[in-house]
Amino acid sequence: MNNKIKYLVVTAVLLLLVVPSSHGTPVNIEGIQNLGMGGPGTAFDSHYGPMYNPAILGIREETKITILDFPVTVTNDVFKFYSFYSDNQDDLKNFSDLDSDRQQELTEEITDKVSKYNMRAKFGILNPGVMIGPFPILGPTGSLAWGVGFKNQTDIGAKMNPGILVPTINFWARADGVLFAPVVYSTPYLPWKLPGKIHAGITLKSIMRYRYEENRMSILEFENFDFNSDDLENGLGGGWDWGALYEFDDKWNFSFVIKDFLSSKISYSGGKSEVIKPRVNFGASYKVLDSLTLAADIRDFKLEDTYKSTLFTKLYFGGRYSLLRILNVRAGFYQGYPTFGVGLGEGFNYAFYGRELGRYPGTNPEWNHSISFTTRF
């Protein structure tokens, strides 16, 4: 690489690291295998690997076809709400017949606990994909891998806030569909006798988004609320991710990804548009044993985060352990919150994880259960 190009690349990367925070909401579809082990995914292979880093395709040993994939995530508060309702449904139905102590007990439980629950569900359907490669189409000079897939996620939820004196409600629904096509080039060797291999690729993305949200709606507004389908916005856009993976040896991988490189834009039917700014992610993975992999990612890194506690909300790390190639146990820390996951073969995966909704670690956790059923070969 000549020096001018080198400087150009370095300058571009530095500029990306200081870009202001994103305006648009990025498409954030995460794999349940990754969530169970703390959320990393840019430097090792997993079902959703190409969504994290296109270059992942370069380290796959075979073609993978996903026929069906049904992931579902619900917050722990949904279970708490269900538990509250099933424990008290008779009393709630016959509230006026209860004695005043019981009425007060129920009312206080609703105002102090139930009204603060964060009710959220995410789900995807079908999610088919064909990921081919790597294919030594370029002979001794390298190999290519490519693929095409479709992932989608619908995120719906409601949260009540204490407000000033009168509680308010936020509720939202967002459905994202991404048709994506990664292409990856892998070098068989590096110049200057450097060890390892480099895989570099791009993912072209076509994004469809439906969204609807109401923030800080007062109880009075909620009482008179009437859903108007005209308020449901639908948009179409596109963009691309760029990713590289340095396979140092058969144990260490290092990754560098720019998501929504040069920004992705979604245009809505009403004339509005949403610009998703680039984000810089990088990570590493270490294969301790054939059955044990440790990995860590930093997502959406910015120079301004250096030496600040906000950096810790961008850390995702953990490990996965495979027992007899059938039972997979995973654990890690997602933005500092512990995670746990388990998988049975290719078909079933479960993850429990915490997510930070606030600015700093420990400010406002959201606890989630995720489960997926997949047909893949």
Partner 1 sequence: MKFFKKTKILIPVFAAAVFLSGCENSNIFSWTHAQGGDSSVVSLLSDGQKAENDGDYEEAIEYYDKILKKDPDNSEALYGKASAELKNAGLELSELVSNMINEDTQGTQDLISDLNFEKLEAGAKEAKDALETITSGEGDGTIPADDPDVNLNLAITRAIWSASYLINEYNVKVKDDFTLENLPEEGIDSDDEEKVIGELDKAIDNLKTSGMDTTEIENGFDDFKTEIDGATK
Contact footprint for partner 1 (CB under 8 A):
100, 103-104, 107-108, 111-112, 162-166, 168, 216-218, 220-221, 224, 288-289, 292, 308-309, 312-313, 315, 319, 321, 323, 329-333, 335-340, 352, 354, 356, 358-365, 367
As a dihedral over the C-alpha atoms of residue 358, residue 313, residue 243, residue 63, rounded to 10 degrees, the angle is -90
Whether the CB-CB separation of 133 and 143 falls below 8 Å is answered with yes
Q: How far apart are alpha carbons 295 and 69 in whole angstroms?
A: 24
Q: How far apart are alpha carbons 191 and 113 in whole angstroms?
A: 62
Q: How far apart are alpha carbons 246 and 236 in whole angstroms?
A: 34
Q: How far apart are alpha carbons 313 and 323 in whole angstroms?
A: 31
Whether the CB-CB separation of 159 and 114 falls below 8 Å is answered with no
Q: How far apart are alpha carbons 10 and 12 in whole angstroms?
A: 5
Pairing label, strands 64-75, 129-135: antiparallel
Spatial CA neighbour of 120 closest among 153, 83, 76, 151:
76
Number of neighbouring beta carbons within 10 Å of residue 149: 22
